[in-house]
Structure 1
Amino acid sequence: MKLQIILIFSVYLVLNSVLTQTIDSNLVNNNVERTIDLTSQLAKVSIKITLKNSGTQPIKNFLLYENPKEKGILAYIIAKDTSKQTLQIDVQGKQRRIHLQNPLLSGKTTIVNVEYVLAKSLEPYPAKITQRERQLVRFITTQHFYSPYATTEDKTTFKLSSRNIESYTKVKPVSQNDQLLTYGPNKNVEPLSEVDVLVHFENNSPFLTVTNLVRTIEVSHWGNIAIEEHIDLLHTGAQLKGSFSRYEYQRDSNSGLASIKSFKTILPASASDAYYRDNNGNISTSHMKIKRDAVELDLRPRFPLFGGWKTQYTLGYNVPSYEYLFHSGDEYLLKMRLIDHIFDDMLVDRVTTTIILPEGSTNLNLKTPYPVKRHPDTLHYTYLDMKGRPVVSFSKEFLVENHIQDFELSYNFPRLLMLQEPLLVFGALYILFLVIIVYVRLDFSITKEKKE
């Protein structure tokens, strides 16, 4: 028993010493400017941190703590220095260690810009509204930048979607200017300060969430790549209370302010043969606008979406393979977006991407811009296939617009195999004609006619 107590105490001392070593008291947040953008369904936080080394030893990294008051899902985070170089971030539980590009010398300062996106952090309040009511949301955070280091001066600015603010925490100094709400500047803030700040305001932005997205990419070496997406949509804003009146919705422009009538999807500029349908068939209430650098689709569901309502649809199109598929001899490289722009300020709970390669592809190697869950490779059978086409699939949860980045899939494919399908077609036609020739020359009559 005594041995167990000694072991537990020693482990505690080791962990405590490691923790105290990771927090360098010589590092000071000389100035912090925090901007929280709440104009959409996402909370986009941008922090400009001026770090100062008040010690004698160089500092190579610093800790960034997760704010305990910001309830939501951290969908994306990035840190850059003044030269726009992306800094390495190591995750350690609710802490993130950011490595500086160059060690911060004694008495020197450096600026680090941190940006992160919180999903599902804006709470509709009240949770249910009628068709004519406006949507109100609230957001909770801390007045000061939550950091394990002392802060000399900081300021927090909220960008709101409307100047109609129901209430906000009145902690001095605070000021409001149109749609901006500013706390600070504050002097000499203690580490890990937790002064709560709540903002309750009007936000009628589309609270539209893709609950599930299945994206299929079928690659052909005959010059085409077919893309099809099966999308499940859910309005995650304040739920509709009471019945829905179509007459009032069409008559009054203030009816259903938080509802979603349509949204814009951006496709690649070379996209063609686009189709948009649901379980009932093709949806004709959509428009396609071809621009210089993109194809813009104005998608309109069969019915407006209110809080708690959902729908699903299928979107497909073709793109030429020469823009995304590169090869040198028998080595091929497919470089495409892991996810495309579905609508502004989008939030995708889960995406599953499936890539169907030509039959005979081997040595598959997938590189993604961020960690994903790779699923076991399978085979897909279609016409003129003998062994099946290799299928690479992977999934990712909680994606936003910042995740619109390219993946790379390399594989080997003998170019002689491109003759397989034409030869199969030629062989099938040859056998068919041969059977017809033999058939017309055979005599299947029971008795023979007498010649005159």
Structure 2
Amino acid sequence: MYCGKAVLSLLIIINIVFLAKSHIINQNVDRNIDLSTQLVKESIKITAEDSDNKPIKEYIFSLSENDSKKLAFISATLSLKKYLDIKQRKGATDKNEYVITFQTPAPTQVFHIELVFTNNVIPHPEQIKQSDKQLVRYTGNLYYFSNYKTKTQKTSIKLSTSNIISYTQVKPYNVVSNKVKYGPYENIDEQTNVPLVLHYENNSPFMTIKYLERTIEVSHWGNIAVKESIALEHSGAKLKGSFSRYEYQKDGSSGVSSVKSYKTYLPASSTRVSYRDSNGNISTSNMRVMRDSVELELRPRYPLFGGWKTHYVLGYNVPTFEYLYKNNDNYMLQMRVIDHIFESMVIEDAVVKIILPEGTSNFELITPYTVTRNKNELVHTYLDTVGRPVITFSKKNLVENHIADFKLKYKFSTISLLQEPLLVIVFIYAIFLFTIICLRLNFSITTHSHKD
């Protein structure tokens, strides 16, 4: 056993040394950074070559320490949206590295890396008055942070408006309307870190879901009930001073960074949609059935300013046959981990609970990305005996790119479907039996007289 571990460790060290001594050069890097919302969306097109003309099997992608803490999503693709295998590097001292594996090794590889960062566009100043516009600051890296030398690089940045207060000025650069272009820069050394700072106007909705609890209750009688409990906070610049409803309604430019309403998209087959908070049902919402979804425009009871919070519950039903697949006693539930709640959404903490029918067993959960699997629970509802199993998992720092399907496989005997009808029949029979017995018994109190 110890010999096997020693050999494995040696192979890891050899692999690390081999990768460190690779002769890969970034011939061209083209970065596009979108800063028009509260998210930082970065797309990088890389042309990598091996100077020794050897096939490139793996490429090490690195992140600076600051970017690594704020990374929410990463993916790598070839042309035509062919996804590459990308995993966090194991055995390395630096945990901010990812290994991209190419199915077809070649001396030249052209691929794309998509990144989404959260909490990297910060309100500056942190507090504003109701009539003020929201200014934000972004801090990043001017150059592509890489383990390899970069021969040529260009960066294009898209902002929400053309109102730019200040920005990093390293020639060559160019500013046109709401776009800032840097480069081309040449002969950049490995892991060169030069701060890139932009201070600009951004009035897009800064909304963060602090906590989301998504409950999916599965019934084999044709219905799946979904309930989402959402704690929402406006994470933009906090409101300084008091709020004036009169000014807000009178002046269209008052509270431009506040949130009056937003759109949530539900599955096309959604029915019995409800939207309520602690005070009851919220009627200020509009629902529109579209071809491939249900558009729900949600309007809170009051507009949300920076630092303001709200909590509501959104519920809907969908038919079982669209999401539940059966093969004898083997079932597979396939549904989304999260729904589209609003544009450029950020979910700090999400918990998904799947309530299965009583009598299910042999659970196998398959998720599209790494999640934290929590301990199974039991919940008791009507007509239950031992309770219904609850499969629970959680995930932090979610964005729109995490909208993907999970699969839950389990076993359920068809005979178990008769449990609830039989319980109802037995209950009704017991009531009738008890009624008959009561009618036949004589509970009257009488006095019998005796004659001499």
TM-score, length basis structure 2: 0.93
Offset, 1:440? 1.7
Checking the alignment, whether the CA contact within 8 Å between 1:67 and 1:141 is kept in structure 2 is no
**Matches of 1:198 and 1:289 in 2, distance apart?**
42
Gaps of 5+ in 2: 1-10, 90-94
| Displacement after TM superposition at 1:265 (Å) | 0.5
Alignment deviations for residues 266-307 of structure 1 (CA, whole Å, 9 cap, x no partner) = 000000001010011111111111111111111111111111
Question: Do residues 34 (structure 1) and 36 (structure 2) align?
Answer: no
Letter in 2 for 1:430: Y
**Cα shift readout 1:335-362 (whole Å, capped 9, x = no counterpart):** 0001111101111001100000000001
Q: CA, structure 1 residues 333+16, in 2 after alignment: closer, same or farther (shift >3 Å)?
A: closer
Shift in Å, 1:20: 5.5
* Amino acid paired to 2:104: N
Asked if the contact 2:68/2:96 (under 8 Å) is kept, the reply is no
Report the RMSD for the aligned CA atoms in angstroms: 1.8
1:361-413 CA-partner distances (Å, limit 9, x unpaired) = 01111110111111111111011101111110010001100100000001111
Counterpart position of 1:5: none
Superposition map of 1:47-446 within 5 A: 47-68=44-65, 70=67, 73-92=70-89, 93-105=95-107, 109-446=108-445
Q: CA deviation at 1:15?
A: 11
| 1:248 counterpart SS class | helix
What is the rounded CA distance, in whole Å, between the counterparts of 1:149 and 1:70 in structure 2? 18
Q: Which range moves more in the overlay, 377-386 or 139-148?
A: 139-148
- Worse-superposed segment, 138-147 or 412-421: 138-147
Q: Does 1:45 align with 2:42?
A: yes
Q: Deviations over 1:202-258 (max 9, x none)?
A: 000111000000010000000000000100001111111111111111111011011
**C-alpha deviations, 1:132-177, integer Å up to 9, x for none?**
1100111112222111211111100001011111111111111011
Q: CA, structure 1 residues 143+378, in 2 after alignment: closer, same or farther (shift >3 Å)?
A: same
Give, in angstroms, the shift of residue 435 of structure 1: 1.2
**Structure 1 length-normalised TM:** 0.93
Q: Deviations over 1:403-424 (max 9, x none)?
A: 0000000111110111111111
Instruction: Summarize the Cα distance change of 1:15–1:371 in structure 2 as closer, same or farther, 3 Å threshold.
Output: closer
Determine if contact 1:326/1:334 at 8 Å carries over to the other structure.
Answer: yes
SS of structure 2 residue aligned to 1:249: helix
Cα distance in 1, alignment partners of residues 21 and 197 from structure 2: 31
> Equivalents in 1 of 2:16, 2:239: separation in Å?
48
Counterpart residue identity of residue 76, structure 2? A
Offset at residue 191 of structure 1 (A): 2.0
Distance change (3 Å), C-alpha of 1:357 and 1:25: closer
- Equivalent residue of 1:216, what SS? strand
Deviation at 1:67, TM superposition (A): 3.0
CA distance in 2, matches of 1:97, 1:292: 40
Distance change (3 Å), C-alpha of 1:430 and 1:25: closer
For 1:429, the aligned partner's letter is: I
CA contact (8 A) 1:71 1:121 kept: no
Structure 1 residues 449 and 293: CA distance shift in structure 2, 3 A: farther
Aligned counterparts of 2:370 and 2:148: Cα–Cα separation in 1: 30
Quick check: 316-325 or 70-79, which moved more?
70-79
The question of whether the paired residues in 1 share the 8 Å contact of 2:65 and 2:96 is answered with: no
CA-to-partner distance for each residue in 1:77-107, whole Å, 9 max, x for gaps? 00012253211222130111211222223xx
Deviation at 1:23, TM superposition (A): 2.7
CA distance in 2, matches of 1:276, 1:253: 27
Aligned length: 434
Question: 2:56·2:109 contact (CA, 8 Å) conserved in 1?
Answer: no
